[in-house]
Amino acid sequence: MQRDFLLIAVLASSLVARAEDAKKTFHFVDLQEQANQKRLDNMGRGFPGSSLGPLPGGEQTFGGIKFKVGDGLLQLGSTILDMKPEKIVGIKVDARCAKLHILHATCFGGGPNTVGSPLHVKDGTTIGEYRVTFEDKSTAAIPIVYGQDVRDWFYVEAEGGPDRGKIAWNGENERAKEVGAKIRLFQTEWKNPKSDSKLVSIDYIGRKTETPAAPFCVAISLEE
Q: CA–CA separation, 161 vs 153, rounded Å? A: 11
Q: How confident is the model at residue 8 (pLDDT cuts 50, 70, 90)?
A: low
Identify the pLDDT of residue 13.
46
Q: For position 12, what pLDDT does the model report?
A: 41
pLDDT (average), residues 64-80: 97
String of DSSP letters for 52-121: STTS--EEEEETTEEEEE-SEEEE---SS-TTS-SEEEEEEEEE--SEEEEEEEEESBSTT--TTSTTB-
Q: Domain residues of the chain, as ranges?
A: 25-223
d(CA 107, CA 84): 12
Task: Band the pLDDT of 17: cuts 50, 70, 90.
Answer: very low
**CA–CA separation, 71 and 36 (whole Å):** 10
CA distance 217 to 81: 15
Tens of pLDDT, residue by residue over 204-216, are 999 999 999 999 9
Q: Share the mean pLDDT of the chain.
A: 91
pLDDT at 26 over 50: yes
Answer yes or no: is pLDDT of 10 > 50.
Answer: no
pLDDT digits (tens, 9 = 90+) for 41-55: 999 999 999 999 999
Confidence of residue 116 (pLDDT cuts 50, 70, 90): confident
**Tell me, what's the pLDDT at 16?**
37
Q: Which CATH class is domain 25-223?
A: mainly beta
Phi, psi for 96 (deg, rounded to 5): -95, 155
pTM for this entry:
0.89
Dihedral (CA of 219, 55, 47, 182) sign: positive
Concatenating the DSSP letter of every residue in 3-34 gives: HHHHHHHHHHHHHHHHHHHHH--EEEE--GGG
Give pLDDT, residue 24.
80
The predicted pLDDT at position 19 comes to 43
